[in-house]
Structure 1
Amino acid sequence: MSTTMNRTVSVVIPTMNEARNIPVVLAALPDYVDEVVLVDANSIDGTVAAARNARPDIKVISQTRRGKGNALAAGFEAATSDYVVMIDADGSMDPAEIDAFVRELDNGADYVKGSRFVDGGGSDDISPLRRAGNWGLNTLTNLLFLTSYTDLCYGYNAFRKSAIPSFGLAPAHTPAQKWGDGFEVETLINIRVARANMVVSEVPSFEYDRLHGESNLRTFRDGWRVLVTIVRERFSPQLPAMTRAARLSAALGSQVPVRAVDAAGMTPTRVNSAV
């Protein structure tokens, strides 16, 4: 893709024992990526050495707490570019798709979500149980927050660095565990992005089987944390201003729009109904 625009791109990658996978992911990143931030959860298999061997300029951060959410928070704090892309280290997400995310940011989006459930997306990995759970949690979120997301629990996303304060993530380098430190982080961010009235686009993404090793995702445990996050965010006694605005929108029969981009990258259209 063209790199003539005056902007920089950081990629944040959480890792825990991904020594066999991380070199493949790093080698496939687009040439225009300016900065790679690897956030490691005390890997014991040589992940950090493998990453540095594959990309000597990589910035390595060690986690203070546990969990993917904490890793992402640490990576976001360390990233310095105009755009930030979050991608997994297991090879399940195609780095070539970063082009589509960056293109949407260039076109004015504040936050770009990858979706396995729009035209051009898909998954080799999602089971019928996980698909049903994602549908239910996604539908609940769309109803409660007047959004029109199609894939709530998928972690391939990109955004402007200026959007990060709206995520409201706990500071990354304090010792006590915080809500949002786990796999619920994507849901937390998606909800808070909607509350902040950002311009959101969805782009198709295909989820492959991880290259090596086993996932740390646990369907029932992490699904429960996502559900609790949705309820906490909706019924907290201290609601951000955007939530109050969303309530007014509900009375007027409107929704927080999400732009959907088809697989060919055609002009985005508005998604005006909950999924």
Structure 2
Amino acid sequence: MEDDAVRTGTSPLSDGGETVAVTEETREVSPDDVCVLIPTLDEAATIGDVIEGFYEQGYTKVVVVDGNSTDDTREIARDHGAEVLVQSGDGKGQAVREALEYITVPYVLMVDGDGTYDPADADKMVEPLSRGYEHVIGNRFAEMDDDAMRALNGFGNRMINRAFGFVHGANYEDILSGYRAFTVDSFERLSLDSDGFTIETELAVECVKHGVETTVVPVGYSARPDESETNLHPVKDGGTILLTLYSLAKTNNPLFYFGSLGVAGILSGSLIAVYVLWEWVQYNQSHEVIALVSAAAILLGVQLLMFGVLSDMLVTLHREQRRRLERIARESNDE
């Protein structure tokens, strides 16, 4: 099968980096302009059916980027006509970034290779790109099978989505979804450094941070086949994702990040101060060293709050300036 979705040893072609405004005017996105990107690790039980499913929908440019599987994932993918890349590093995030260096078509449809997502939803995922959106997230909770997700996983996913909305100010409904469609141009504007499975979380945060036009569409989500094993651990990985959400707020929502640290410092210092005062009033015992620690904690908390406010002002000004420059660039291109 001929496949020009990947060009070995070269960089992707792009349109110049300007933001696409969402309008009612549509532009046709042909399956020939879309590369189906499938990151894999030991997905021999399902990868063949996943590839064939996209072929049946007319998407023939399929690229499998494999994380050095120990089973027959790569061989099966090649047998089904997919282009196979073996990533040089470890983790899904590194695999996606590396694969994007070789993709030459303007659109990417990214999906997990575990057979949980339905290739029949491909057109539904790609369609918003024709209306000017730059990033599309497939919402698994809209059409999820009853046995597709354990209760603990479902609770953790919803908690993480609420935390994302609270911290980063956007409702993407399912930020951990592995079913994504996006333009190569918008991906190149993002600052991604996640190597592992937190790539979906980082993508969502970066879309908010860089003003990438993002929408959500309902997709089907099925249980993993019995012969396919998951690489995720709900409690450990959920904690890692929450920490990632919090750490990424440093540049996307600095008022929350530094403000929360400041409030924690003020509260802890205040509690220590209350203890010192109580000891002095009740027992006439002074704790000079502890009192100094209390004062230092309160002072540090106040400084962090002030730094958060100033950082938030700078981020807001930066975003306004970026939007202004992008508007000027669009107007220049229209002329």
TM-score (norm 1): 0.77
Identify the residue that residue 218 of structure 1 maps to in structure 2: 233
Which whole-Å deviations, capped at 9, do the CAs of 1:31-86 have from their partners, x for residues lacking one? Answer: 5425211111112222111111111xx22111222212122222222222111011
Identify the residue that residue 144 of structure 1 maps to in structure 2: 167
- Deviation (angstroms), 1:242: 11
Q: How does 1:172-187 map to 2 (within 5 A)?
A: 180-187=194-201
Given the superposition, is the C-alpha separation of residues 242 and 196 from structure 1 closer, same or farther in structure 2, using an over 3 Å criterion?
farther
The AA in structure 1 aligned to 2:183 is R
- Deviation (angstroms), 1:5: 4.6
2:20 is the alignment partner of 1:18: no
Please give the secondary structure, in 1, of the residue aligned with 2:93: helix
Identify the residue that residue 174 of structure 1 maps to in structure 2: none
Matches of 1:39 and 1:236 in 2, distance apart?
Answer: 30
Do the aligned partners of 2:63 and 2:84 also contact (CA within 8 Å) in 1? Answer: yes
The AA in structure 2 aligned to 1:131 is G
Aligned equivalent of 1:69, options 87, 93, 100: 93
Given the superposition, is the C-alpha separation of residues 134 and 238 from structure 1 closer, same or farther in structure 2, using an over 3 Å criterion?
closer
Do the aligned partners of 1:68 and 1:185 also contact (CA within 8 Å) in 2? Answer: yes
Matches of 1:242 and 1:42 in 2, distance apart?
Answer: 45
Given the superposition, is the C-alpha separation of residues 248 and 213 from structure 1 closer, same or farther in structure 2, using an over 3 Å criterion?
closer
Given the superposition, is the C-alpha separation of residues 246 and 103 from structure 1 closer, same or farther in structure 2, using an over 3 Å criterion?
farther
- Deviation (angstroms), 1:237: 9.5
Please give the secondary structure, in 1, of the residue aligned with 2:101: helix
Do the aligned partners of 1:197 and 1:242 also contact (CA within 8 Å) in 2? Answer: no
5+ residue gaps, structure 2: 1-26, 255-310, 321-335
Matches of 1:17 and 1:242 in 2, distance apart?
Answer: 46
- Provide the alpha-carbon RMSD of the alignment: 2.8
Q: How does 1:193-212 map to 2 (within 5 A)?
A: 193-211=207-225, 212=227
Identify the residue that residue 250 of structure 2 maps to in structure 1: 235
Matches of 2:183 and 2:208 in 1, distance apart?
Answer: 15
Higher helix share: 2
Aligned equivalent of 2:113, options 89, 94, 99: 89
- Deviation (angstroms), 1:18: 1.6
Aligned equivalent of 2:191, options 168, 183, 187: 168
Matches of 1:166 and 1:242 in 2, distance apart?
Answer: 22
Identify the residue that residue 40 of structure 1 maps to in structure 2: 66
- Deviation (angstroms), 1:112: 0.4
Matches of 1:59 and 1:86 in 2, distance apart?
Answer: 14
TM-score (norm 2): 0.64
- Deviation (angstroms), 1:145: 1.3
2:128 is the alignment partner of 1:114: no
Identify the residue that residue 154 of structure 2 maps to in structure 1: 131
Do the aligned partners of 2:29 and 2:127 also contact (CA within 8 Å) in 1? Answer: no
Identify the residue that residue 316 of structure 2 maps to in structure 1: 245
Which whole-Å deviations, capped at 9, do the CAs of 1:192-234 have from their partners, x for residues lacking one? Answer: 0111112111110121112332110111121112111111110
Identify the residue that residue 8 of structure 1 maps to in structure 2: 33
Do the aligned partners of 1:153 and 1:187 also contact (CA within 8 Å) in 2? Answer: yes
- Deviation (angstroms), 1:238: 10
Given the superposition, is the C-alpha separation of residues 146 and 4 from structure 1 closer, same or farther in structure 2, using an over 3 Å criterion?
closer
The AA in structure 2 aligned to 1:192 is E
Which whole-Å deviations, capped at 9, do the CAs of 1:109-150 have from their partners, x for residues lacking one? Answer: 1100000234xx224321111111111111111111110121
Please give the secondary structure, in 2, of the residue aligned with 1:12: strand
- Deviation (angstroms), 1:184: 0.9
Between 1 and 2, higher relative CO (CA 8 Å, sep ≥ 6) is seen in 1
- Deviation (angstroms), 1:14: 1.0
Do the aligned partners of 2:135 and 2:180 also contact (CA within 8 Å) in 1? Answer: yes
Matches of 1:66 and 1:51 in 2, distance apart?
Answer: 19
Please give the secondary structure, in 2, of the residue aligned with 1:155: coil
Given the superposition, is the C-alpha separation of residues 53 and 190 from structure 1 closer, same or farther in structure 2, using an over 3 Å criterion?
same
Do the aligned partners of 1:41 and 1:63 also contact (CA within 8 Å) in 2? Answer: yes
Do the aligned partners of 1:37 and 1:78 also contact (CA within 8 Å) in 2? Answer: no
Identify the residue that residue 331 of structure 2 maps to in structure 1: none
The AA in structure 2 aligned to 1:35 is K
Return the index of the structure with the highest Cα Rg. 2
Identity %: 31
Do the aligned partners of 1:35 and 1:81 also contact (CA within 8 Å) in 2? Answer: no
